[in-house]
Amino acid sequence: MTTFSILGDDDPFLHVSMQKGDKIYCESDAMVMMESALELKGRMTGGLGSALLRKFTNGENFFQQHIEATRGHGDCLLAPTLPGAIEVLDIGKAQYILADGAFVAATSGVEMKVKMQSIGNALFASSGGFVVMTSSGQGQLVVSGFGSIFTLDINEGKETLIDNGHVVAWDANLRYSLGMATSNTGFLSGVVNAATSGEGIVLRFSGHGKVLVCSRNRENFLRWAASKAN
């Protein structure tokens, strides 16, 4: 049975302990170290259609890394692309939707599928572009967030607004929609207040379930990094 554990407090590693026959898959370039009992291959997860959607709509990698314990027990270390916390989610009773760049790894019993979003969410939210990744099956799923990760409990009858750049993953049973943080009813007033307050697009969650948020805004960081590169 595969065991995930988190090593370190700041920018941690994901330690994976695998028995013979165990299989996991992870995002491209996630593998840092692995023992010789393990075998690493690059594969398309979810078939050609899913791989193409991830690549051309969200800019994610076409191939993912698949690691199998073919020669007995072995350990490996994985790490996310951006610095920040790692969280292990139990998949089965609850399923999750992941924001861009949140996926790190999953056991073979968990399937990640692509789901088309509404045009509004796709164009204006950082919640996954035209498609988001959704989980199904049973096992464990590992996600990462830029900075620290905190889990919010959303309760029925109480809508919660979260800056879309801080959302990591959320319970698939939750209802969510795009909106503005300001309470003004007029669109123009909302745009003006959003610009002056510094809080623009938010995701409005309702229902009952959990939302994982990170302390740093991933989109702001990527824009800053791009400006430095230019």
Q: How far apart are CA 73 and CA 69, in angstroms?
A: 6
Break the chain into its structural domains and give their ranges: 3-229
Q: Where are the beta strands (DSSP E) in the chain?
A: 3-7, 13-18, 23-26, 31-34, 38-43, 64-69, 74-78, 86-91, 96-98, 103-107, 110-116, 131-137, 139-144, 149-154, 160-163, 167-171, 175-180, 201-206, 209-214
Residue 209: what pLDDT? Answer: 97
Of the given ranges (61-65, 133-137, 182-186), which has the lowest mean pLDDT? 182-186
Residue 10: what pLDDT? Answer: 81
Residue 200: what pLDDT? Answer: 61
pLDDT band at 47 (very low <50, low <70, confident <90, very high): low
Q: Which two tokens stand for residue 32?
A: 């840092």
**Percent of the chain topping pLDDT 70:** 72
Give the CATH architecture of domain 3-229.
Answer: 4-Layer Sandwich (3.60)
Q: How far apart are CA 95 and CA 93, in angstroms?
A: 7
pLDDT band at 38 (very low <50, low <70, confident <90, very high): very high
Task: Supply the mean pLDDT for the chain.
Answer: 81
For residues 7-22, average pLDDT:
94
Residue 130: what pLDDT? Answer: 47
Residue 45: what pLDDT? Answer: 58
- Of residues 189 and 145, more confidence is placed in 145
For residues 24-28, average pLDDT:
92
Most confident of 79-83, 113-117, 146-150: 146-150
> What is the bridge-based pairing of β-strands 149-154 and 139-144?
unpaired
Of the given ranges (35-44, 68-77, 186-195), which has the lowest mean pLDDT? 186-195
